Amino acid sequence: MLRKIFFSIVVFSCVASLLPACSCGKRKKGTPGANDKIYPVKIISPIAGEVPDLVDLQGVFIPNDRLSVKTPYSGKATQIAATEGQRVNPGDALCRIQNDHLSLILDKQRAELREEELKLEGIKGGEENGGNRLGGNRAPFDLDTVGNEEEPAANQSPPEEGEEPANEEAPPPQTEERNEEPNLFALSQQPAKQQPREEPESKSGLQQAKIDRLRAEIALNERMLTEGTIVATIGGLITKKYVSEGSLVQADTVLFEIVDVDPILLSVFVPQKLIQQLNQNTPVKVIDKNDPGQLLNGEVAYISTEFNIDKKGLEIRVRVPNPNSKLKVNLEGTARLALSTKTRKVLLIPPEAITHASDGKTFVYVAKGSLAEKKEIEVGLVQNGQAAIIQGLSVKDQVITQGHQTFDEPEEYIKIE
């Protein structure tokens, strides 16, 4: 019994001593063998520098664009080609609005149009002949001549034979001024003055306006009958669908909601004390709350001109690429900006030396003799072609900038060029 116990202890000790070696994996020797692959690389030494300290601002992701798709027509929704969660491009068909009564309406409108056009022709014909219905060209009557017609003189005798008529006119007889009432009977026997007729353009103009309105309505209904297809005018995701096959809808009804989330925007508010350091070229990184280990590249796309008193800050919107729609609208995020008046010491290296892992971690390869070793680092902001390394490197490290993209292992044989 004691022998079995002793044997078990020995076996367990041997296995335990081998576990660390197994977990570390096989390390490469300092000198490559005849069958080992050697990678040509280029190296650079980090540069010590100072950058503005980083400021983290909390915000909310919002869409880059948003559209409520409405129908300009009334009718029945058919041929629905979009559903919630589907990505669409500008010009993609979403559905069709069909109106079964539209043909009957068009027939009625066309008949009404013909009738109104005939009325317009009659009005224009009547205006052309209207001036001849009142008895031709008759001189107008002047009231000022009533009672003032000249009568031949009673005592004036015709000139005798051989006697020349007098060239001088006799002076008018002197008459006493009399305030007599006008002769109403004489006035009644004279034709009344002709009243001004209505302008010819008034009736025909109104009729023409009515015809133009009918033609516009017919054109719209003809378009509805031939087209009727509702299309997307922006690219994005269908977030809401309010219509189903066969639904009856009225004009101006919202059928779909489309949001553009690639790129997506992160809305944050910059405190008043940091506004002076803010500009369109301010470096920024974005952190998703659901994946805090991954830093995403962003750029300042919008700076408000008005200070928000309720938020106690100036709104900016950071544009972030979102090709896989991983970042969601209305979720929280963080914008990391270089806005502080304080500075911190960092090491600067070219951004192409940095490798980003699928888990969000970042690392570089450093040269140690004939070997390249993988080192995890923390990256700050990239500015002026240099990436700020907050921790993970020393100024003595030789960072590989070219040739590491094809490495398969954490350690590889290298040849520095």
3-state DSSP assignment of residue 31: coil
Which residue, among 323, 305, 324, has the nearest Cα to 315 in the 3D structure?
305
Residues 6+ apart with CB under 8 A from 406: 39
pLDDT at residue 136 in the model:
45
Mean pLDDT of the chain: 79
Q: What is the mean pLDDT of residues 4-19?
A: 52
Residue 67 near residue 257 (C-beta atoms within 8 A): yes
Specify the pTM.
0.50
Q: Does the pLDDT value for residue 164 go beyond 60?
A: no
Run of H or E including 21: helix 2-24
Residues of the chain with CATH 2.40.420.20: 27-53+345-416
| Residues counted in the chain | 417
Domain made up of 27-53+345-416: CATH architecture:
Beta Barrel (2.40)
Q: What is the pLDDT of residues 248-280, one digit of tens each?
A: 999 899 999 999 999 999 999 999 988 888 888
Strand pairing report for 93-98 and 47-52: unpaired
pLDDT digits (tens, 9 = 90+) for 80-105: 999 998 999 999 999 988 877 777 88
Nearest to 379 by CA among 369, 365, 393: 393
Boundaries of CATH 2.40.50.100 in the chain? 66-98+228-260
Lowest mean pLDDT among 24-38, 76-90, 263-277, 307-321: 24-38
Confidence bin at 12 (pLDDT 50/70/90):
low
Q: Among 258, 266, 255, 254, which residue's Cα sits nearest to residue 235?
A: 258
Instruction: Decide if pLDDT at 176 tops 70.
Output: no
In CATH terms, 66-98+228-260 corresponds, of 2.40.50.100, 3.40.50.1000, 2.60.40.1730, 1.20.120.530, to 2.40.50.100
Paired strand residues for 319: 265, 299
Whether 57 has a pLDDT exceeding 80, the answer reads yes
Instruction: Give the relative orientation of helices 102-129 and 200-226 as an angle to the nearest 10 degrees.
Output: 160
- Which part of the chain is CATH 2.40.30.170? 55-63+261-341
Q: Among the listed ranges 46-55, 231-240, 296-305, which one has the minimum average pLDDT value?
A: 46-55
Q: Is 55-63+261-341 a CATH 2.40.30.170 domain?
A: yes
The residue to which tokens 């192409």 are assigned: 352
Q: What does the pLDDT read at residue 259? A: 94
The answer to whether the beta carbons of residues 44 and 398 sit under 8 Å apart is: yes
